[in-house]
Amino acid sequence: MLKIDKNNLPQHIAIIMDGNGRWAKQHAMGRIRGHKKGAQAVRTAVTACREIGISYLTLFAFSSENWGRPNEEINALMSLLGDYLDKEASTLQKQEIMLTTIGNIERLYPPVKEKLLEVKKLTEHNRKMVLNLALSYGSRDEIIFAIKKMITDNRSGKLDIDDIDNDTVGRYLYTNNIPDPDLLIRTSDEYRISNFLLWQLAYTELYFTDVLWPDFKKDDLLKAIAVYQRRERRFGLTSEQIQNK
């Protein structure tokens, strides 16, 4: 197993879990079988992050644009999410993981939404790791929602325009209580952000791999972390400035 430095872990890892459909095609199966296998890879990734000591894991599970997929596929994804919550609630509890979500969960199928609220409530006092699922999530939607809320609060006297800064905007986003990701992983050899965390990724380290999500294992995660640890995060400063800090 790959060696990583426990003293320089990314505090927050975000993953665009992509490639379920292509995995299925490679194995001469329907897309839904790919999503099933993808759900198993979620279990593996959550446990691995918990073991490694990652504090926040955000998984892009369903985008606002994914609502445009064939109904059959949407139905299957909703029911897989329900299954995942049924089966994993006790494990999340045992591993002391808190479940949170970002996105417009009002749009999720009602029984799935109910389950989600239940598991969030069940796990809300867990402090070992936050598992944050991006569901019916689109970053532009999130930003529009934040702007509207800021305007409303301004009109009601709760928010002064002169007080709006980076932190203020951050507080109006779904990710309010979550630090920006340190590392973004996208699987399946695609090199785009696909409307994910546009504001929050400003200084995130990006890592792309050709591994398809259903094949993503703990070793792949360790590899990504090892690459992250070799990077120098400069945040606009010079290398000398960073090293003298």
Site string for ligand IPE, 181-210 (x = CB under 6 A): -------x-x-x-x----------------
C-alpha distances in angstroms, 169 versus 96, 157, 173, 204? 30, 17, 7, 17
Told to judge if 160 belongs to the known catalytic residues of this protein, a careful annotator would answer no
Cβ-contact 152, 130 below 8 angstroms: no
Stated as kind and residue range, the H or E segment containing 131 is strand 129-137
Q: What DSSP element (H or E) covers 207?
A: strand 205-208
Among 12, 20, 123, 146, binds ligand IPE (CB under 6 A): 20
Nearest CA-CA partner of 35 in 25, 46, 45: 25
Q: Is 18 tagged catalytic?
A: yes
Q: What is the distance of C-alpha 20 from the center of its chain? A: 16
d(Cα 244, Cα 242) in Å, to the nearest integer?
6
Which of these ranges, 19-27, 86-94, 121-129, 165-173, lies near ligand IPE under the rule CB under 6 A? Answer: 19-27
How near is the Cβ of 123 to ligand IPE at its closest, in Å?
Answer: 22
Give the whole-angstrom CA distance, residue 66 versus residue 63: 5
Which part of the chain contacts ligand IPE (CB under 6 A), choosing from 12-20, 102-110, 117-125, 143-151?
A: 12-20
Residue 144 CB, nearest approach to Mg ion (Å): 24
Question: Among residues 17, 39, 150, 224, which is the contact residue for ligand IPE, using CB under 6 A?
Answer: 17
Instruction: Indicate which residue of 5, 8, 20, 66 is catalytic.
Output: 66
Nearest to 232 by CA among 245, 223, 220: 245
Among 60, 174, 216, 228, which residue sits at the site for ligand IPE (rule: CB under 6 A)?
A: 60
Task: Single out the catalytic residue among 8, 18, 141, 195.
Answer: 18
Q: Which of positions 16-55 make contact with Mg ion (CB under 5 A)?
A: 18
Q: Residue 217 Cβ, how far from Mg ion at the closest point, in Å?
A: 19
The residues assigned a catalytic role are: 18, 66
